[in-house]
Amino acid sequence: MSMIASATLWKDATDRDLVATATTGVEGSFEELVRRYQRPISAYVYRMVGDYEAALDLTQEIFIKVYGSLARYRSEFKFSTWIYKIAHNSAVDHLRRNAGRERSLSSGIEGDQYELPIESGGLSPEQESERKERRLEIEAVVRSLPNAYRELIVLRHSQDLTYEEIVEVTGLPLGTVKNRLFRARDMMRQQFIGRGITSM
């Protein structure tokens, strides 16, 4: 079956349908799940680990884990939350394994970084340049956050997860999530002030 035909066939299927069919071994259903989540998961992992090659490897590893755990997926939970939980655990494991490298990442020496593209949306060259500069500042500040804070900022602002979903993904109590998010934002604002950016 060609890629286009496969994508068309599964277009209207829900995540739960795809999981059910993938578990019974129907060809193409898992591929559609990968297609749906490859971008958000790879972006999340990249933001967590800060290394392009590692993010690609981890993303692949995550989908293999997901496929291996499909039989254990319970349909009362949102599939997206479940897959983020697996991605989160894999990213945290990776950071633990590479604690030394992670320190170098936070100090800004890491080499294999990729500049994430952003749509210009009809801005003037000056505005675009300013926006790009601002985005780089924000990305740098996000990278400099401790893991415990960075993961919450990424889940909330990049992946747009609710507090409840963040609780499910990270396994942290709701109070801790609220508190850490507030502290992380406060820490970031202080860093912006420290960098001379007062408009935020």
Q: Does 77 bind another protein (CB under 8 A)?
A: no
Length of the chain: 200
| Close Cβ partners of 17 (under 8 Å, ≥ 6 residues apart) | 29
Q: For residues 59 and 48, is the Cβ–Cβ distance under 8 A?
A: no
Looking at beta carbons, which pairs linking 113-122 to residues 24 or more positions away fall under 8 Å? Answer: 113/50, 113/51, 113/52, 114/46, 114/52, 116/43, 116/46
CA atoms within 13 A on the CB side of 132: 14
Minimum Å distance from CB 117 to another protein?
6
Considering beta carbons, is residue 92 or 187 the nearer one to another protein?
187
Binding positions for another protein, 41-70, rule CB under 8 A = 42-43, 46-47, 52, 55-56, 59-60, 63-70
Q: Does 156 bind another protein (CB under 8 A)?
A: yes
> Pick from 96, 130, 182, 195: which binds another protein (CB under 8 A)?
182
Q: How many CB atoms lie within 10 A of CB 175?
A: 9
Binding positions for another protein, 121-150, rule CB under 8 A = 134-135, 138-139, 142
Q: Which of 31, 45, 129, 133 is nearest to 92 (CA)?
A: 45
| Residues in touch with another protein (CB under 8 A) | 3, 22-23, 25, 30-32, 34-35, 38-39, 42-43, 46-47, 52, 55-56, 59-60, 63-71, 114, 116-119, 134-135, 138-139, 142, 153-154, 156-158, 160, 162-163, 178-179, 181-183, 185-186, 188-189, 192, 199-200
